[in-house]
Amino acid sequence: MSSANSVPPFRRVAPVLEPGHTYASVTEKISSIVLSRPAGTGWYLAFTLAFGLVMMLGMALAYLIAKGTGIWGINIPVGWGFAIVNFVWWIGIGHAGTLISAILLLLNQKWRTSINRFAEAMTIFAVMCAGIFPLIHTGRPWLAYYMLPYPSTMGVWPQFRSPLIWDVFAVSTYFTVSLLFWFVGLIPDLATLRDRAHSRLAQQLYGILAMGWRGSARHWHRYQSAYLLLAGLATPLVVSVHTVVSFDFAIAIVPGWHTTIFPPYFVAGAIYSGFAMVLTLAIPLRKIYGLEDFITMRHLENMAKVMLATGLIVAYGYAMEFFMSYYGGSKFETFLAHNRLTGPYWPFYWALILCNLVVPQLLWFHKVRVHVPTLFLLSLVVNVGMWLERFVIVVISLHRDFMPSAWGMYAPTFWDWATYIGTLGMFLALLLLFVRALPVISIAEMRELVAHTSEEQK
Amino acid sequence: MAQIFHRSTNFISRFTLFSGLFLVGLALLVLGAIARSPYLTNQNIAREQPVQFSHKHHVGDDGIDCRYCHTSVETSAYAGIPPTKTCMNCHSVLFSNAEYLEPVRESFRTGKSIQWVKVHRMPDYVYFNHSIHINKGVGCSSCHGQVNQMPLVWQASPLLMNWCLDCHRNPEAVLRPREQVFNMDWKAPADQAEIGRALATEYKLRTTAELVSCSTCHR
Amino acid sequence: MIERRSHIYGVMAEFDTAEQLVEATAKTVAAGYQRVNAYSPFPIEGLAEALGFRQSNVPRLTLLGGLLGGSGGFFMQYWMAAVSYPLNIGGRPLNSWPAFIPVTFECTVLGAALFAVLGMLALNKLPQPHHPVFNAPRFGLASNNRFFLCIVANDPRFDRVQTAQFLESLHAHDVVEVFDE
Amino acid sequence: MGAEGHRHEHRGGEEPEVKHDAHDPCTEELGSRVYSLDLAAIRERLAKSTGKEYWRSLEELSGNPHFEELLHREFPRQASEWDESVDRRDFLKLMAASLALAGLSGCGRKPEETIVPYVNQPAGMTPGKPQYYATAMPLGADAIGLLVESHEGRPTKIEGNPDHPGSLGATNAFAQASILGLYDPDRSQVLTYLGEIRAWSSFLESAVATAPMLKATGGAGLRILTGSVTSPTLAAQLRALLAQYPQAKWHQWETAGSDGAREGGKLAFGRYVNTVYRPAKANVIVSLDSDFLGSGPGHVRYAKEFFRRRKLSGEHAEMSRLYVLEPTPSVTGAVADHSIPMKASDVGLFARALAAKLGLGGSASVPAEREKLLEAAAADLQKHRGASFVIAGEYQPAEVHALAHAINQALLNAAAGGTVYYTEPVEMQPVNHLESLRELCADMDAGRVDTLLILGGNPVYDAPHDLDFVSKLKKARLSFHLSQYFDETSEYCQWHIPEAHYLESWSDVRAFDGTASVVQPLIAPLYQGKTAHDVIGAFSDKPGLSSYERVRNTWVGGHTEKDWRKWLHDGVIGGTAFAPMAITSKWNPASLLPAKPAPADQLEFIFRPDPSVYDGRFANNGWLQELPKPVSKLTWDNAALVSPKTAEKLGLTHRAAWTGGEHGQILSDVVDVDLAGSKVTAAAWTLPGQADGVVTLPLGYGRSKSGQTGTNKGFNAYVVRASTGIWCATGGTLRKTGLEYPLACTQYHHNMEGRELVRSASLDEYKHNPNFAHKGAEEPPKELTLYKEFAYPGYAWGMAIDLASCNGCNACVVACVSENNIAIVGKDQVMRGREMHWIRIDRYYEGSLDSPETFFQPVPCQQCENAPCEQVCPVGATLHSAEGLNDMVYNRCVGTRYCSNNCPYKVRRFNFLRFQDWETPALKLMRNPEVTVRSRGVMEKCTYCVQRINNARIEVEKENRPIRDGEIVTACEAACPAEAIVFGNANDPKSRVAKLKAQQRNYTILAELNARPRTTYLAAVRNPNPELEKPGTPPGDKR
């Protein structure tokens, strides 16, 4: 039905789906990863590592609850340290998933199809990792429910002027909606797995999850309008979430936080880091599971382009911060700018500039965008860079604010690191389980893609 | 292809889906109810005491004034629990060798205090002051109930913050003339609304905003 | 064709391609059948319309959810901050409405999303793990690469023989009777 | 959920049980590489490595026992301070406990509690109402009159006694902290003989047993060693005893006492005198290295008088002028109009020159750069004859005191009604303490001492090392030591008798002007403590009398019971103040042998009692240990202080560590001090305003036997303190060891970065432009606000702090700690920037590094009306009361720390760990029942002592009247000797605070943020001599 040969071999733009695929072949290829292909030793090794880290996270949290946040490096003036840095970082990473699946869907970008599934998974896992931190960074986590608007016997309510309350709502909404979006997308594929599974147990499990999906035309119709609506809702949501996260800082009066540029530049930064993370995951994934046909150079290159674009927005953000700090003429802001460049934490700031501004400029070159190993390295660099950005914002702004007499320094402790690395392990573990249990690429949408490409080629 | 599920699963699955949501809501309601229940507030639970002391007898029957024992109620934050001496003032003469008064006599002999079981318990971060309430015309029975009818005293009110706030927001509802403060049988008259307002102005009650400020009770 | 002493759900035809299915569906509807269902491994444009399915109510439900969530969210905050326990927070007004917007927005999105998904499921009468069509021997392929058309027995014009023949006439890959035991 | 929070808020028992443990996992961290200073680690490195530099450092190490000692003691202990840490065995239990807490917080039943009433209620006491008793705290040769707040018989808070001349209602840090000293669980609790527990009775027996032998020899072998005795009763007892045993001797050794002052008086007047000054009457004061505003007899009174004399208000714009010449910065120098760093030995020369200049004869020249100063000071003194005085420092030698006396006489300052007068000595038996101790040592050495009674004091620790007290003490056949702690001296005495705290004892004491007070106990001895009266009594011919009877007998003679009661009530015995003596100095400065200036190239080492632990007696007082020293802001350690120039010369530096940084941990060079044939290893500290070539060695640290808190903190300066140079020694060396030592410093950054936090001007500038404080950024006008302002129709509590008055004496800080149950966190936590003080005193410098102007700025919560902290709290745990207080609701706080981040003044404090001690029963008795005890994970801060506000309001409402101005006094305000802090109702135009806020000097710090603080500051005004250029530069910027 399709004829790859008709396409010239020396084309510059790779297709979103390598030719030669049929409904059956995509179904087979993707579902087999879950159903028939055994987990290799590689997977087991990776999972063991990840699980070990999760255990470390468990210990770190237990010790934290036993002793208090004093086990971390935080102090007065630096009341927020790694916990908030990691929170913002993880949330940011989450954003790419929603962006890819929702916004690109609305923009009708076909190339999203083969990456949106695990991008969404990434979102959910990242938000789970992020969600841990606001909870545990409180001095008395067991009272965190004070932040919920429930009718307490004390007759008191949350304080809705606080950005932290906005966070509670934004993050929980974001998690719920992402989960729904992901699940709705999964339903037809769950049906496929149900129908292709051999073991009774698998049939029943996938069967229950598929909720009896049978691909009826009417169902598809409602399904599609629901899916589109979710995409339409998720788009402003994702923007709002990181805007709210940026409010955590922008609403405060701390020099370096109290600025109006934060919302846009946080959102851009989020997408920036998010795409970096998608690349970090997609590149090994397509290699290991031989999905090069589905996740083609086209995808990688497009993501690289998005990174370049958002990277430039972030750069603009940095520039504006400096411009405003001098133009605004507030001695506190001016000092902060100066302190970033030359203060005790200068290596962090310059490393951030290197990772987020300098190195990514390589993406201007097509050769770099299509050179997979380089791209992989670049994505890692940007991940580090964006983490540094949050560190710079949180720590450098706090450690020297208004009263010189109260200036201090922050240095992370072993437990800061254990918690952070622990969440990395948790993220990896969830991802590994996901790869084994659910189709990493949306089969139904791939079939559509097959249909379309075959039409195009007719 | 064969059916994986029996027809009944259709009902079961839908039921579980929707009842799941319902149950969560229910659980929350139950939690809220428990928090307000005597199980946690200890409301209406009469406490056994080391001495069979009956407020009903002493106040209700003998008509002893609250202040005879709770001496500091008008002057101090604490109403004051009477020292053994106070009991002995009478009981060195009356029922001077009644079996059930032995703990009292023993305490007086040995100088070891009687350990009464606390009935009304505030968290330590709540700073309640009896004297000012008495002074502003809040009667004993408004919070403690009709102690003159309690053989063993129980906590008549939930003592939840909400309950405190109700009164601090609308003290007029319970204010009484100062001379009525220690009257256990005082009932709000029909025109309590007006009386209350009048008393509030007479006693120079602070504004609601002041009365519900956090530091009014928490320090 | 399997003989079974159980009442029949309908007759089902299997097609190779989406185009065939759409074509067949159109013909079936044209032939005056009303209780018709089409099944495909992926959404096919025009198929539902061909079945005479016009309007899904999901958007309306979503709007409703959004409005409920939003207004609920705002008034919750207003009531808690300005009515239930009005407190002086750093000299800010009791009804600091600008500060209430983020939460209001999140509530809107949450309400809308929940209504959209739950509404879609409800309208589709899902979950429904058990359904007669699953009895069709090759129906498993409906989630892979095959396309099915089913005329349900309670259709006024339904007749085991004629309907089956009618479907045969649409160049179906094959036609089976679907039973509902 | 009915009881949310409070389970975690209060009940110690419900917090996880934790053991102290030397090793705290959270010290294994990136930031503090400093921990590699641990000797073990160094050894390890050495073992592993080869190569020259390592060998060199090995030699350094092994060659230096003091250094090892310094290291050995440092780290293992730190962690176990107040930072409780987890023992691996308890770890799971602990986890379970806290997880349970987490789960059950909502729904646990209240455990049953019991009420324990009195059997016989003490007359006049009302449960729930504090009572106040007057008493007095003896310290050295002085005493300060106090009113002690007592809750149900537990003394909880110290206030000054307005009727006492030494207090006038104010107190100092030592008095405030003494309440902790009372409850200190480390105080010795049993009487021991050779380390075995004995009953008091068995001591009595052994005391009586000595009688026959003593009688036989006329007490030849009996020696009694005391500190300065200002108790008439004790003196009477001692004299009686000496009368009974004529051969016995009474020696005195007050290590921080002033032989200089005593001998100076003798030199000038031919007899011991007591000098009383009247700063209130003085227009010009020249302090020859005297810290009369911060330490020494009468300093609280002097501060009151001095600052009252300098208060500025609209109409009154006159100030006295203070010149301070000092080798090392003191709080007096810090507020001086001219403070001139000068070697201790040069101060003497300057005094001679001054005397000469004033025509008293004698002759001395001062270096050229001081000529101008000399001229100006002399002229000023001349101009204000009779209304000025020169005061010599306690640690200056006799001739400087004599010179000061001579000058005051010459200037008629000592004339009747002048600024100085002389009285009988306050000490009951003034002697030269050094000689007295030397004599005792000689006697012991010669085996002439058979029975030795040491009443208080700790000579083994603090006697000059060349007297070698220990080895001589061993020669005494029978030795008794009465002390509050089982200390260094107790170890070497057969008998140790726990001493009663002054709040537990009956005694009497004279203050700086002779006024006597009865010391009455607030509580029965907690640890069976005995008084010196009891011990001496045991040896006297009439034992068995109680201290109470002895004291009473001393005074009631010829008086009625009513008088006695009045004395107890007033806290002073009326009419006991010494009358001024009419004596004149017939001594001529010319008679002094010519002195030659100390060689400039030689380092001068001076010893000073530490501003926190004094001579070491307060070493175990956590409140004082954690108290940032007024000028250096160091806590938990002493350090060898050097001037910036000297530091450069010796190549001494410090740097902020990653952990804590400039608000916490400073890594400082370790130096070997080699002096008077002995050696000590210390951390060095560079102090602006220190005289070049002078090394200050603060006394009182390096205790080897104190308590859990005080043992092995800092270095022991007594090790190098010889009788040849008690206060000032030369001929020593100071060598850099090349190692670093972490010091806990709460404010390393002494530069305002141009933020005009402290605003100041000279008196002239002020007269020309009273509005000078408002040249900087100002609050945006209220009209510009978007929001409708909240109205505060009732009381509007506010505070005004006069920076012209604050001398950074720290009394307010300790008072706050005591009033508000503030936890101590220990050195390790202070180094992490986690100290808990609700009011901190910021110290800023202006002008040159070598002799800067110093300014102090107390910073409590500013109680902003538009509080930035409140807006960001997600649970509304901090919000505004209807009277404009920035309330902090501990039981609602979940501990996000957002409020602290958003607080521009950084006055909020967070319980990062469980800093409060929930276990020790004694400390529970100490706490103020009116204030919630905060637990882990909760933010806290200054509340303007809301408990005092509420209690006062309740009382006045019962009386149906408004609160009067001054009826509510915050703890800090009450303690302040300088009356720099004023609290009150800003809505009442007649209130003191409103009047101050109305002054033009009144300004808000960080006003441009529009937080609208209720706490405002009055700009500092100093009165430098126009003849001399004003030291320093306009407010702000030079480092």
Q: Is the pLDDT of residue D7 over 90?
A: no
Q: Is the pLDDT of residue D154 over 70?
A: yes
Predicted local confidence at residue D50, as pLDDT: 38
Helix (H, G, I), strand (E, B) or coil at D922: helix
Which residues on B lie below 8 Å from A203 (Cβ)? 4
Residue A103: pLDDT band (50, 70, 90) is: confident
Chain D contact for A157, CB < 8 A? yes
Determine, for residues D866 and C87 on separate chains, whether the beta-carbon distance falls below 8 Å.
no
Determine, for residues D664 and A408 on separate chains, whether the beta-carbon distance falls below 8 Å.
yes
Determine, for residues A195 and B165 on separate chains, whether the beta-carbon distance falls below 8 Å.
no
The candidate with the shortest Cα–Cα distance to D319, out of D805, D714, D716, D980, is D805
Predicted local confidence at residue D15, as pLDDT: 34
Residue D109: pLDDT band (50, 70, 90) is: low
d(CA A62, CA D98): 8
Which residues on B lie below 8 Å from C128 (Cβ)? 10, 13-14
User: Which stretches within A197-296 are classed as H helix?
Assistant: 200-210, 217-250, 262-288
d(CA A392, CA A410): 12
Interval A80-84 mean pLDDT? 95
Which residues on D lie below 8 Å from B78 (Cβ)? 127-128
Predicted local confidence at residue D777, as pLDDT: 66
Instruction: Provide the CA D919 distance to its chain's centre, in angstroms.
Output: 27
Lowest mean pLDDT among A172-181, B48-57, C54-63, D594-603: D594-603
Predicted local confidence at residue A456, as pLDDT: 63
Q: Which residues of D touch C (CB under 8 A)?
A: 787-790, 864-871, 876, 879-882, 1012
Q: Is the pLDDT of residue A403 over 80?
A: yes
Residue D108: pLDDT band (50, 70, 90) is: low
Determine, for residues B132 and D930 on separate chains, whether the beta-carbon distance falls below 8 Å.
no
Nearest to D875 among A159, A408, A412 (CB): A159
Pick among D15, D121, D959 to test the B interface (most B CBs inside 10 A) = D121
Determine, for residues C126 and A445 on separate chains, whether the beta-carbon distance falls below 8 Å.
no
Distances (CA, A) of A293 to A191, A297, C41: 23, 9, 21
**What is the percentage of chain A residues whose pLDDT exceeds 70?**
97
**What is the percentage of chain D residues whose pLDDT exceeds 70?**
88
Q: Which two tokens stand for residue C172?
A: 């179906």
Q: Which of residues 82-111 of A touch D (CB under 8 A)?
A: none
The amino acid at residue D882 is A
Q: CA of D844: which chain A residue's CA is closest?
A: A405
Determine, for residues D787 and C88 on separate chains, whether the beta-carbon distance falls below 8 Å.
no
Nearest to B160 among A153, A207, A211 (CB): A153
> Average pLDDT, whole number, for chain A?
91
Q: pLDDT: is B213 or D541 the higher one? A: B213
pLDDT, tens only, D878-916: 999 999 999 999 999 999 999 999 999 999 999 999 999
Chain B contact for A207, CB < 8 A? yes
Nearest to A151 among B1, B13, B32 (CB): B32
Question: Phi and psi of A44, rounded to 5°?
Answer: -60, -45
Interval D706-734 mean pLDDT? 93
Predicted local confidence at residue D355, as pLDDT: 92
Predicted local confidence at residue B1, as pLDDT: 62
d(CA B204, CA D957): 8
Distances (CA, A) of B180 to B58, B72, B188: 19, 18, 11
Chain C contact for A150, CB < 8 A? no
d(CA D308, CA C88): 39
What is the distance in angstroms between the Cα of A215 and the nearest Cα belonging to chain C? 5
d(CA D26, CA D844): 33
Is D1039 within 8 Å of D909 (Cβ atoms)? no
Which residues on A lie below 8 Å from C43 (Cβ)? 220-221, 223-224, 444, 448
Chain A contact for D662, CB < 8 A? yes
What is the distance in angstroms between the Cα of C38 and the nearest Cα belonging to chain D? 52
d(CA D998, CA A416): 50
Determine, for residues B116 and D114 on separate chains, whether the beta-carbon distance falls below 8 Å.
yes
Nearest to C130 among B1, B3, B209 (CB): B3
Q: pLDDT: is D368 or D235 the higher one? A: D235
Q: pLDDT: is D1038 or B201 the higher one? A: B201
- In D63-170, DSSP assigns E strands to 114-115, 131-139, 142-151, 154-160
> Average pLDDT, whole number, for chain D?
86
Is D461 within 8 Å of D488 (Cβ atoms)? yes
What is the distance in angstroms between the Cα of D930 and the nearest Cα belonging to chain B? 8
pLDDT, tens only, D273-285: 999 999 999 999 9
Q: CA of C96: which chain D residue's CA is closest?
A: D787
Interval A365-370 mean pLDDT? 93
pLDDT, tens only, D44-75: 544 444 333 333 333 333 334 444 444 333 33
Q: Which two tokens stand for residue D830?
A: 């202070």
d(CA B60, CA B63): 5
Residue A8: pLDDT band (50, 70, 90) is: very low
Determine, for residues A208 and B13 on separate chains, whether the beta-carbon distance falls below 8 Å.
yes
Nearest to A161 among C53, C89, C120 (CB): C89
Predicted local confidence at residue D179, as pLDDT: 95
Determine, for residues A154 and B28 on separate chains, whether the beta-carbon distance falls below 8 Å.
no
Number of H helices, E strands in chain B: 11, 1
Is the ipTM here above 0.90? Answer: yes
Q: Is the pLDDT of residue D33 over 60?
A: no
Q: Is the pLDDT of residue A167 over 50?
A: yes
Determine, for residues A68 and D911 on separate chains, whether the beta-carbon distance falls below 8 Å.
yes
- ∠D648-D653-D658 over CA atoms, to 5°? 155
Predicted local confidence at residue D848, as pLDDT: 86
Q: Is the pLDDT of residue D673 over 90?
A: yes
Q: Is the pLDDT of residue C83 over 90?
A: yes
Which residues on C lie below 8 Å from D871 (Cβ)? 89-90, 92
pLDDT, tens only, A200-215: 999 999 999 999 999 9
What is the distance in angstroms between the Cα of A181 and the nearest Cα belonging to chain B? 18
Interstrand relation of D604-608 and D694-698 (parallel, antiparallel or unpaired): parallel
Chain C contact for A297, CB < 8 A? no
The candidate with the shortest Cα–Cα distance to D260, out of D437, D66, D405, is D405
Q: Is the pLDDT of residue C113 over 70?
A: yes
Interval D18-47 mean pLDDT? 37
Q: Which of residues 16-55 of D touch A (CB under 8 A)?
A: 16, 25-26, 28-32
Q: Is the pLDDT of residue D611 over 60?
A: yes
**The residue count for chain D:** 1039
pLDDT, tens only, D980-1011: 999 999 999 999 999 999 999 999 999 999 99
